Amino acid sequence: MKEEKSIHKGLAFVILVAVCILLPTVSGQGPPVDENSCIAYAYTNSENHLFLLGQNTSMFGSTLNIVHNCEELEIYVDGFFQASSSTDFSILIEEGIHNITIQSNEFNQTFGSVMFYPDRLNWEYEWQIIENSKPQFIDIELAALQTNYAVGIGIFIVWVLSTYVYWSLISSYVDRNFIEEVVQ
C-alpha cells in the first residue's frame, strides 16, 4: 500500500514536470503603440469586397480610400503628388500598374507594382471587353441555312446506313436459304 502511494506520487511528479516543460514559454509583446504615432492604410472596394493596398497587389475599383490618424498625410501616385489631408480621404486612380507612396512626417511607405483594375462588378467592364474585342455576329438567315443543311445531310447519312444494314441482312438471309435446282 505504501509502495503504491509512492508510485502514484512519483508518477504525478513526472507528469507535472512534463507538463511544465511542454508548456510554451510566455512571449512578451512589443511596446504598446504610442497614441501619437502615425498609422495609415489604403484600400479600394467593389460592392461588399475590400482590397487592401500592398506591395505587388491587384485591386479592383477606381477609388482609393486612405484611412489615417496622422496630422497631415500626402499621397503620391507614380511620383506625382495627388492629395494631402489631415482626415481620411479618397482619390480616383486610373486602371493600370502604379507605384503608390503614402507619406507624412512620421510615416513613409511605398507600394510598388500595384495593379488597378476597373470595378469588375459593374456592367461597364464587360461592355469594354465586348467593344475592344470587336465580335463578329453571324446572320440569322445564314445560321438557319447551315442548320437546314446539317439536318438534310444527317437524314441522308442515316438513310444510307439503314438501307445498307437492311440490304446486308436480306442478302445474307437469301444466300443462306437459296436452293438451286439442277435440271438435266
Among residues 107, 133, 159, which one ends one of the domains? Answer: 133
My answer on whether 106 and 156 are in the same domain is no
My answer on whether 106 and 67 are in the same domain is yes
My answer on whether 119 and 99 are in the same domain is yes
pLDDT of residue 91: 93
| Residue burial 43-60, b: 16+ Cβ < 10 Å; e: rest | bbbbeeeebebeeeeebb
Count of domains for the chain: 2
My answer on whether 129 and 158 are in the same domain is no
> For residues 57 and 32, what is the distance between their CA atoms, to the nearest angstrom?
29
pLDDT of residue 65: 94
- Is residue 4 included in any domain, yes or no? no
- Is residue 164 included in any domain, yes or no? yes
My answer on whether 96 and 156 are in the same domain is no
Domain CATH number, residue 58: 2.60.40
My answer on whether 56 and 109 are in the same domain is yes
My answer on whether 82 and 45 are in the same domain is yes
- Is residue 31 included in any domain, yes or no? no
- Is residue 28 included in any domain, yes or no? no
pLDDT of residue 25: 59
pLDDT of residue 13: 75
**Distances in whole angstroms, Cα of residue 32 to Cα of each of 37, 105, 140, 147:** 11, 20, 71, 75
E-strand stretches of the chain: 40-46, 49-52, 58-60, 63-68, 73-77, 80-85, 89-92, 96-103, 108-117
Asked whether the beta carbons of 64 and 42 are under 8 A apart, the reply is: yes
Asked whether the beta carbons of 93 and 116 are under 8 A apart, the reply is: yes
Give the three cell numbers for residue 24. 510554451
pLDDT of residue 120: 63
pTM beyond 0.75: the answer is: no
My answer on whether 111 and 147 are in the same domain is no
My answer on whether 129 and 44 are in the same domain is yes
- Is residue 3 included in any domain, yes or no? no
- Is residue 120 included in any domain, yes or no? yes
pLDDT of residue 74: 93
- Is residue 17 included in any domain, yes or no? no
My answer on whether 129 and 45 are in the same domain is yes
Q: Determine the structural domain holding residue 118 and report its residue range.
A: 40-133
> For residues 59 and 50, what is the distance between their CA atoms, to the nearest angstrom?
9
For the chain (length 184 residues), average pLDDT per consecutive 10? 64 70 61 69 88 91 90 92 92 92 88 85 69 80 94 95 90 80 72
My answer on whether 83 and 125 are in the same domain is yes
Strand order, beta sheet including 96-103: 58-60, 108-117, 96-103, 73-77, 80-85
- Is residue 184 included in any domain, yes or no? no
Write the DSSP assignment of 26-76 as a string of letters. Answer: PPPP-PPPPTTS--EEEEEEETTEEEE--TT-EEESSEEEEEE-SSSEEEE
Identity at 85, one-letter amino acid code: S
**Distances in whole angstroms, Cα of residue 168 to Cα of each of 34, 162, 164:** 96, 10, 6
My answer on whether 90 and 149 are in the same domain is no
